Structure 1
Amino acid sequence: MSLQWTLVAGFLYGEMAIILLFIAPFISAKTWQRFFRSRFLQVVSQQATWYFAIIFAILALLFLDAIREMRKYSGKEATEHAHLESELQISMRLFRAQRNFYISGFALFLSLVIKRLASLNSKQAQLLAENEAALKQAKSATTTARTLLNNQGAGEDAQNTSNEAHQVELNKLQQEIEAQKKEIESLKKDKEAVVSQAKSLEKEYDRLTEEHRKLQLKVNVSGESKKDE
């Protein structure tokens, strides 16, 4: 494997490791939120958009180059059958082009997956914080309402009006909490769907690696048998 594709494969493995960290159950959304708001990332985030665009463009060019190689050797495979060794060489080059196609394609896809997971984790942490704040506010309003109810006196009419206002506020807060819970559940479902796609891509890459190993062994055996002849 050439240097550029070795770097792309290393980048792909790094993306897989980052995705595993994102879906790790022992790292909460609040932890990721604190990490995203750290000073280091605040400085890096100013140039992060440019870095992401440059890396994405490089991967896209490599992806297109792999497609070109696949089309090139696919055409040769259909016309050149004069010699077993040349046919095996063409098959080997075609498989390498296909391998590079999947490596660059998976790297492109996982870069978008990582960006989406980071956004979902940040949004989930924000919603959890808002939910906790709303719960605290609702508890405070409930405590105030109970205190007012226990201290009923001459101003009963005014107090009833205040109790009604607190009840309206409680109902509003409960509605906000329910809406935030539904949004959190939706974010969790989106995150699970993205993780499932990433796992299926990882399995497909492992399968292609095994096929490459078998084909390489076949080429070596063919070369040795030709030398013996």
Structure 2
Amino acid sequence: FLFLFLSKMETHYDLENSFALILMVIVGILNFIIMIPWPPVIMANLLRVSRQAGRSEQARWTFFMVLAVVFVMFCWSFWALRSVQSELDAMKANSAINAVVDMETRLSMNLKKFRTQRNVYITGFSLFSSLILLRFHKILSQIGDLN
């Protein structure tokens, strides 16, 4: 079902951009909250709530399902990049024979290649951000356990 849903590249790009944006907002908000010099009572409550939220089974499953979807998108992006590159190589091989290639076709293929490369970078960043978010939560939990 997911493959049929992701068969259109535009939908795939929208999903990846949405995940990247959501992860960046979460990391940014958490960093902003932690950097504010809160009174010790409020900081202890924030750390306690963070620790309890991360220990719930539902939160873990949700996070790892999102991580799995981002990983599938990352793999799919590499597959799309490889298919676009092979299509571009085939077009270049045919252009040597025909000596005339439609400029609009070349532009379209190069634009498709750019989008797939951008997609690889976005999903890689999303995957990296989610791993940073996981590590950030573990550090906050350890700080909360010390208090």
Q: TM-score, normalised by structure 2?
A: 0.72
Out of 58, 64, 76, the position equivalent to 1:47 is 58
In 2: Cα distance, 1:14 partner to 1:70 partner:
24
- CA gap 1:12/1:31 in 2 versus in 1, 3 angstroms: farther
Q: Is the 8 A contact 2:50 2:140 kept in 1?
A: no
Out of 19, 25, 31, the position equivalent to 1:23 is 31
In 2: Cα distance, 1:8 partner to 1:72 partner:
19
Q: Which runs of 5+ in 1 are unaligned?
A: 130-229
| Superposed structure 1 runs of 4+ greater than 4 Å apart | none
Q: Which residue of 2 aligns with 1:11?
A: 19
The one of the two structures with greater contact order (alpha-carbon pairs below 8 A, sep at least 6) is 2
Count of aligned residue pairs for this structure pair: 125
Q: Which residue of 1 aligns with 2:139?
A: 120
Q: How many percent identity over aligned positions?
A: 26
1:15 Cα shift?
A: 1.2
RMSD (Å), alpha carbons: 2.3
Q: Which runs of 5+ in 2 are unaligned?
A: 1-8, 93-100
Q: Is the 8 A contact 2:70 2:126 kept in 1?
A: yes
1:114 Cα shift?
A: 0.5
Out of 114, 117, 120, the position equivalent to 1:101 is 120
Q: Is the 8 A contact 2:85 2:113 kept in 1?
A: yes
1:55 Cα shift?
A: 1.6
Q: Which residue of 1 aligns with 2:77?
A: 66
Secondary structure of the residue that 1:2 maps to in structure 2? helix
Out of 78, 95, 112, the position equivalent to 2:89 is 78
In 1: Cα distance, 2:60 partner to 2:135 partner:
14
- CA gap 1:21/1:31 in 2 versus in 1, 3 angstroms: farther
Pairing 1:87–2:106 present: yes
Q: Is the 8 A contact 2:20 2:126 kept in 1?
A: yes
Cα deviations across residues 36-88 of structure 1 (Å, max 9, x unaligned)? Answer: 256xx37x822222222222221111111110111111223234242211111
Q: TM-score, normalised by structure 1?
A: 0.48
Out of 52, 56, 74, the position equivalent to 2:67 is 56
